[in-house]
C-alpha cells in the first residue's frame, strides 16, 4: 500500500509539474502573440500616417488574424479600407466591430455614413439614431440624420417627376440625391435614363460608367454603355465595354450578339483606314461601302463612311465622282469641314475655282485652326486670280492632273495647228504667233516640275511680277523677240 501511495503521489507530482510548465509556455505564447499584435498595429498606424495604405492593410490583416475578437482592430482596418476607397470592404469590418462591442458609437457613426452614401437610408437612420440615443448632443449624427430625411424626400419627388415624364425636373432633383448617395447605382441609373429621354447621351454615359463598378455583376450596365457608345459612333469604346460584359459571362447571349455586330463593323472601318494609308483608294472605298451595309441604322457611321469615301475620291483625283459623293456627304453633315475641304480639292482639279474658294471659306469658318484649310484657301484664291489671266492647262486643253506625255501630245497637236507659217494674211499670222507663243510657253511650264508646282500653287512662273528681275521670257524656247514685227524664224522642237 505504501508503495502504491508513493506511486500515485509521484504521478500527481509529475502532472502538477507538467501543468506548471504548460501554463508557463501558454503565458509566454500569449505574451509573444500580444507583442506581435501590438507590433502589427503600431506598424499599421505608422504606414497609414505615411500614406502607404497597402502595406498598412497587410499589417492590420495580420493583427485581425492573430486576435479576431478585438473590435478595435476591425475598426482600424476599416479606416484603411476607407482611405483606399474600398467602402464595400470597410462595411463588414465596421459591422463586426459593432457586433463585438454594441456601444461602440464611433463605428456606428462611420457605418451610418457609408450606408447613407450607398442609399441604404433605413439602416443608416438606425445607426444615427443609436448614436443620438447614446449621445444626444452629437452634431454629426444629427446632421447626417437630417440628410437621410432629405434624401428620402428628394428621391420620392424625383420618381414622381419621372413618372409624370418631367425628366428635366427629375434630373434637377437627382443632382442633390447623387451628391448625398454617390455610391447608389440605382440613383445614377435613374438619372441616366432621364438624360436618355432628353437626348443627352454624353451625360447618360457619365452616369452609367460608375454603376458598372458599383455592382459586382453589372452586365446590364456594360451592355447598355456599349450600345450607347455604338450609337454615338464610338465603336472602339463600344467594343471595350461589351468585352467587359463577356468577361463576366461569356455565354451572355445579348452581349455576344452585340459584340459580333460591333466587331464586324470595327474590322471593316480599321481595314478601310489601313487601305487608305496605303493609298489603295478603290479598295478602301469598297470597305467603307461594306461598313455602310453592315450598319445601316446608325446615321453617324453612314456620315463617317461617306466622308471617308469623299476623301478617297479626292485623293485619287476622280473629280466628278468626288464632287458628287462629297456633295452627298455635305448634305448629310453640313458642319463637317473635312468634307468641304475634300470637295474643294476636287473643284480645283475640275478647274471650278470659285466653288473651291467658297468651300474652303466655309471650312475655315468651321475649323479656323486648320493650317491645311488655310493653305488650301490661299491656293484656291491664287488659282482663281490666275485663271482670270493666263491658264496654262486651258491653253493646252488638258486637265490639271494630266501627265507629262499628255501635255506633250496636246502641245504637238496645237503647235502644228497654230504655227504662223500655216496662215497667209498678216492679221492671221499675228494671231497665230500669239497663240503659238502661249502654247509653247504652256508646254514649257507644264513639263517643268518646278514651274508646274508653282502653277498648281496658284502662281504664274512667267509673270514679270514673279520673275524678280530675271527676265520675262527666260523660259520661253525661242531665239527671237516675239514682239518684234515680221520675225517668224522659230527654232522650235516637237520633242
Average pLDDT of the chain is 85
Torsion sign (Cα): 95, 96, 98, 99: positive
The answer to the question of residue 256 being in a domain is: yes
**Residue 222: Cβ within 10 Å count:** 25
Same domain, yes or no: 321 and 244? no
Closest CA to 80 of 124, 36, 44, 43: 44
Same domain, yes or no: 396 and 464? yes
pLDDT on residue 173: 96
Look up cell 452629437; give the residue.
Answer: 138
Grid coordinates representing 261? 455586330
* C-alpha count within 13 angstroms, C-beta hemisphere, residue 7: 4
- Are 59 and 44 a contacting pair, CB within 8 Å? yes
Span 111-140, pLDDT tens digits: 999 999 999 999 999 999 999 999 999 999
- Domain boundary among the residues 265, 287, 318 is at 265
Same domain, yes or no: 420 and 380? no
The answer to the question of residue 356 being in a domain is: yes
Distances in Å between the Cα of 32 and the Cα atoms of 26, 207, 295, 326, 327 are 10, 52, 70, 82, 85
- Domain boundary among the residues 388, 408, 428 is at 388
**Residue 487: Cβ within 10 Å count:** 13
Same domain, yes or no: 307 and 378? yes
- Domain boundary among the residues 354, 373, 388 is at 388
- Please tell me the distance from the alpha carbon of residue 42 to that of residue 236, in angstroms, as a whole number: 48
Rounded percentage of the chain residues whose pLDDT exceeds 70: 87
CATH of the domain at 323: 1.25.40.10
- pLDDT band for position 309 (50/70/90)? very high
Same domain, yes or no: 396 and 494? yes
The answer to the question of residue 399 being in a domain is: yes
- Please tell me the distance from the alpha carbon of residue 270 to that of residue 268, in angstroms, as a whole number: 6
The answer to the question of residue 234 being in a domain is: yes
The answer to the question of residue 238 being in a domain is: yes
- Please tell me the distance from the alpha carbon of residue 29 to that of residue 26, in angstroms, as a whole number: 5
The answer to the question of residue 156 being in a domain is: no
Residue-level length of the chain? 495
**2-49 vs 71-83: helix crossing angle, rounded to 10:** 20
pLDDT on residue 186: 93
Grid coordinates representing 462? 512667267
- Please tell me the distance from the alpha carbon of residue 145 to that of residue 122, in angstroms, as a whole number: 10
| Residues sharing a CB contact under 8 Å with residue 200, sequence separation 6 or more, in sequence order | none
Strand, helix or coil for residue 280: coil
∠ Cα 108 110 115 (to 5°): 90
What mean pLDDT do residues 413-427 have? 87
pLDDT on residue 13: 52
| Residues sharing a CB contact under 8 Å with residue 258, sequence separation 6 or more, in sequence order | 223, 226, 227, 230, 242
CATH of the domain at 447: 1.10.287.110
Same domain, yes or no: 357 and 421? no
- pLDDT band for position 168 (50/70/90)? very high
Same domain, yes or no: 493 and 430? yes
- pLDDT band for position 466 (50/70/90)? low
| DSSP result, 175-196 | HHHHHH-TT-HHHHHHHHHHHH
**Residue 293: Cβ within 10 Å count:** 9
pLDDT on residue 481: 39
- pLDDT band for position 467 (50/70/90)? low
Same domain, yes or no: 382 and 445? no
- pLDDT band for position 284 (50/70/90)? very high
**pTM of the model as a whole:** 0.65
The answer to the question of residue 315 being in a domain is: yes
Look up cell 495580420; give the residue.
Answer: 62
The answer to the question of residue 271 being in a domain is: no
* C-alpha count within 13 angstroms, C-beta hemisphere, residue 331: 6
Q: First CA to last CA across the chain, in angstroms?
A: 145
Same domain, yes or no: 379 and 415? no
pLDDT on residue 388: 76
Same domain, yes or no: 398 and 359? no
Same domain, yes or no: 430 and 402? yes
pLDDT on residue 38: 84
Look up cell 451628391; give the residue.
Answer: 179
| Residues sharing a CB contact under 8 Å with residue 225, sequence separation 6 or more, in sequence order | 205, 208, 209, 212, 241
Q: Is the pLDDT of residue 315 over 80?
A: yes
What mean pLDDT do residues 85-110 have? 92
- Are 349 and 365 a contacting pair, CB within 8 Å? no
473: domain range? Answer: 392-495
**Residue 35: Cβ within 10 Å count:** 10
Number of domains within the chain: 3
pLDDT on residue 114: 94
What mean pLDDT do residues 334-363 have? 94
Q: Is the pLDDT of residue 224 over 90?
A: yes
Closest CA to 456 of 356, 386, 371: 386
Span 12-26, pLDDT tens digits: 455 454 444 445 444
Torsion sign (Cα): 274, 278, 281, 282: negative
Same domain, yes or no: 323 and 384? yes
| Residues sharing a CB contact under 8 Å with residue 336, sequence separation 6 or more, in sequence order | 303, 307, 329, 330, 366
- Are 461 and 451 a contacting pair, CB within 8 Å? yes
Amino acid at each position: 500500500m505504501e508503495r502504491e501511495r508513493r506511486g500515485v503521489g509521484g504521478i500527481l507530482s509529475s502532472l502538477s509539474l507538467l501543468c506548471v510548465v504548460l501554463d508557463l509556455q501558454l503565458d509566454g505564447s500569449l505574451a509573444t502573440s500580444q507583442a506581435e499584435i501590438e507590433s502589427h498595429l503600431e506598424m499599421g498606424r505608422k504606414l497609414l500616417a505615411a500614406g502607404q495604405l497597402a502595406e498598412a492593410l497587410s499589417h492590420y490583416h495580420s493583427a485581425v488574424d492573430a486576435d479576431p475578437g478585438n473590435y478595435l482592430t476591425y475598426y482600424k482596418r476599416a479606416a484603411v479600407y476607407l482611405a483606399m476607397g474600398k467602402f464595400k470592404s470597410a462595411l463588414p469590418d465596421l459591422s463586426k466591430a459593432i457586433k463585438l462591442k454594441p456601444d461602440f458609437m464611433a463605428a456606428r457613426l462611420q457605418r451610418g455614413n457609408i450606408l447613407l452614401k450607398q442609399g441604404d437610408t433605413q439602416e443608416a437612420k438606425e445607426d444615427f439614431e443609436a448614436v443620438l440615443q447614446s449621445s444626444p448632443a452629437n452634431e454629426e449624427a444629427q446632421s447626417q440624420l437630417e440628410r437621410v430625411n432629405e434624401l428620402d424626400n428628394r428621391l420620392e419627388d424625383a420618381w414622381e417627376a419621372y413618372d409624370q415624364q418631367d425628366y428635366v425636373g427629375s434630373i434637377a432633383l437627382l443632382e442633390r440625391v447623387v451628391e448625398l448617395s454617390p455610391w447608389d447605382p440605382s440613383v445614377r441609373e435613374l438619372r441616366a435614363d432621364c438624360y436618355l429621354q432628353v437626348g443627352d447621351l454624353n451625360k447618360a454615359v457619365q452616369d452609367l460608367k460608375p454603376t458598372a463598378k458599383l455592382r459586382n455583376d453589372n452586365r446590364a450596365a456594360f451592355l447598355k454603355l456599349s450600345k450607347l457608345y455604338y450609337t454615338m459612333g464610338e465603336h472602339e469604346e463600344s467594343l471595350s465595354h461589351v468585352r467587359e460584359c463577356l468577361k463576366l459571362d461569356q455565354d451572355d447571349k445579348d452581349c455576344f450578339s452585340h459584340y459580333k455586330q460591333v466587331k464586324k463593323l470595327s474590322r471593316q472601318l480599321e481595314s478601310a483606314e489601313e487601305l487608305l494609308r496605303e493609298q489603295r483608294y478603290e479598295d478602301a472605298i469598297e470597305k467603307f461601302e461594306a461598313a455602310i451595309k453592315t450598319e445601316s441604322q446608325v446615321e453617324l457611321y453612314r456620315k463617317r463612311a461617306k466622308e471617308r469615301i469623299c476623301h478617297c475620291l479626292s485623293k485619287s483625283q476622280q473629280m466628278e465622282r468626288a464632287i458628287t459623293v462629297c456633295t452627298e456627304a455635305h448634305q448629310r453633315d453640313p458642319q463637317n469641314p473635312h468634307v468641304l475641304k475634300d470637295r474643294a480639292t476636287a473643284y480645283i482639279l475640275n478647274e471650278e475655282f470659285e466653288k473651291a474658294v467658297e468651300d474652303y471659306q466655309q471650312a475655315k469658318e468651321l475649323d479656323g485652326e486648320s493650317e491645311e484649310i488655310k493653305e488650301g484657301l490661299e491656293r484656291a484664291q491664287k488659282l482663281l486670280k490666275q485663271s482670270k489671266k493666263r491658264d496654262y492647262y486651258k491653253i493646252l486643253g488638258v486637265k490639271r492632273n494630266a501627265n507629262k506625255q499628255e501635255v506633250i501630245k496636246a502641245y504637238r497637236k496645237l503647235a502644228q495647228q497654230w504655227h504662223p507659217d500655216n496662215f497667209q494674211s498678216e492679221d492671221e499670222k499675228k494671231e497665230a504667233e500669239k497663240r503659238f507663243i502661249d502654247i509653247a510657253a504652256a508646254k514649257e511650264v507644264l513639263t517643268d516640275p518646278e514651274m508646274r508646282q508653282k502653277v498648281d500653287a496658284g502662281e504664274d512662273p512667267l509673270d514679270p511680277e514673279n520673275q524678280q528681275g530675271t527676265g520675262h521670257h527666260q523660259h520661253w524656247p525661242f531665239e527671237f523677240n516675239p514682239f518684234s514685227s515680221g520675225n517668224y524664224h522659230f527654232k522650235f522642237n516637237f520633242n
